[in-house]
Amino acid sequence: MHLLLRLLIAAAAGGWLPVAAYCQDHSSAIAKDDLIDSNVEARAFAPGVVSSRFDEWGTSFSPDNKTVYFSRGSRFWTVCFSRYRDGVWQRPEVATFSGLWRDTDPFVSPDGTRLFFTSNRPLAGAAQDKPNANFHLWYVERTGDDQWGRPHHVDGQVNIDSGNNYAPCVSARGTLYWCSRDREGNKGMQGYYAVWLGDHYDEPKMLHIEGVESVQDPFVSADEKYIIFLNGSDIYLAFRQGEGWSAARKLGPQVNTGDGNSSPYVSHDGKMLFFSSPRTKGFYDRDRSHALNYDELEKENDNWCNSSDNILMIPIHLQR
């Protein structure tokens, strides 16, 4: 089969369906566990638009599901967004607060009034033409449709000068979750949380989840009933048990294939899992009926499925 035709078929197979429609397609699966039906496969999210030949990760949706925020870039991380209009996701734009410093990991609060993100932008009182030595957590407040005010540094004990913070997530009651490497003597990448006390965050505490060595890229549901996170290159889940969490459970082979997964995120209705992965198996395979010429090689590398990190999605049963 001609290379271009194969690429078009791969893109169509991974085409975007609204979350509700995609889940409805598989609601009558014959064999399933209690999380992911055994006969479903991950699809690319908005291939050629959001999932592109560049690297994308860090998905987060507005409360009405009509705007998706995500990270794009390699060296210069940038927060972008795309609107869902007339049945398709539109060409992405750079978020109003991003495009100058290395910004990543956007997360829209459950009520849509704030967006948290990670950045190396300079702190107040420092030289404003040089990046901060570490990545800190910041937030912006919504001023209009896809419009945000000036960035605010998350003050208090959350950000520290001796380490980097990544992957912020906030619950409905304001508890902030994130991950940090080797923070305050805790070895490796670990998850942390800080309770919102109405005018400031309480002292950060480390997340302790049995069965894993690390907690990276934590996503916590708005009601804090479950947490999905990265341990190594695999995605795990744990449920709330009292003041703590159940033992970690590794998601199945539909999600964890040995590729470098990251940035798990669950839709507001608990029916769709999004995550980032460089996976190509099932999306594209080179046509070996002939040796590629240079034009065909360019088309192959210019395709969204070229081993860059893309945003994938798969139905999951975490309905509230």
Would you state the pLDDT for residue 280? 77
pLDDT exceeds 90 at position 296: no
pLDDT surpassing 60 at residue 125: yes
Taking 80 as the threshold, does the pLDDT of residue 194 lie above it? yes
What is the CATH number assigned to the segment(s) 3-315? 2.120.10
CB 27 within 8 Å of CB 20: no
Q: Per-residue pLDDT averaged across 166-173, rounded?
A: 98
- Asked whether the beta carbons of 79 and 103 are under 8 A apart, the reply is yes
The angle that helices 294-301 and 3-13 make with each other, rounded to 10 degrees, is 10
Q: How confident is the model at residue 320 (pLDDT cuts 50, 70, 90)?
A: low
pLDDT beyond 90 at 300: no
Single pTM value for the model = 0.87
* Residue range 247-283, pLDDT digits in tens: 999 999 999 998 899 999 999 999 999 999 988 777 7
pLDDT over threshold 90, residue 120? yes
Terminal alpha carbon distance of the chain: 45
Q: Out of 52-61, 78-87, 101-110, 290-299, which region has the weakest mean confidence (pLDDT)?
A: 290-299
Runs of H (alpha helix) within the chain: 3-13, 19-25, 294-301
Contact criterion met (CB below 8 Å) for 67 and 77: no
* C-beta of residue 307 within 8 angstroms of C-beta of residue 278: yes
For the cut 60, the answer to whether the pLDDT of residue 28 exceeds it is: no
Q: What are the sequence ranges of the domains in the chain? A: 3-315
Kindly list the distances between the CA atom of residue 319 and the CA atoms of 20, 169, 221, in Å, as whole numbers in the listed order. 12, 19, 10
Residue pointed to by tokens 């046509």: 287
Q: Please report which confidence band the pLDDT of residue 75 belongs to, taking 50, 70 and 90 as the band edges.
A: confident
Which helix (DSSP H) or strand (DSSP E) does residue 59 occupy?
A: strand 56-61
Query: Among candidates 48, 41, 58, 37, which has minimal Cα distance to 15?
Result: 48
Asked whether residue 176 carries a pLDDT value surpassing 60, the answer given is yes
Residue 297: helix, strand or coil by DSSP? helix
CA angle 125, 127, 131 (to 5 degrees): 110
Please state, in angstroms and rounded to a whole number, the distance separating the CA atoms of residues 89 and 130: 35
What percent of the chain has pLDDT above 90? 71
Give the Cα separation of 234 and 142 in Å (integer).
33
Angle CA 50–52–54, to nearest 5: 115
Average pLDDT for 18-43: 61
Residue 238, beta-bridge partner list: 227
Instruction: Provide CB contacts within 8 A for 199, sequence distance 6+.
Output: none
- Measured CA to CA, the distance from residue 167 to residue 220 in angstroms comes to 11
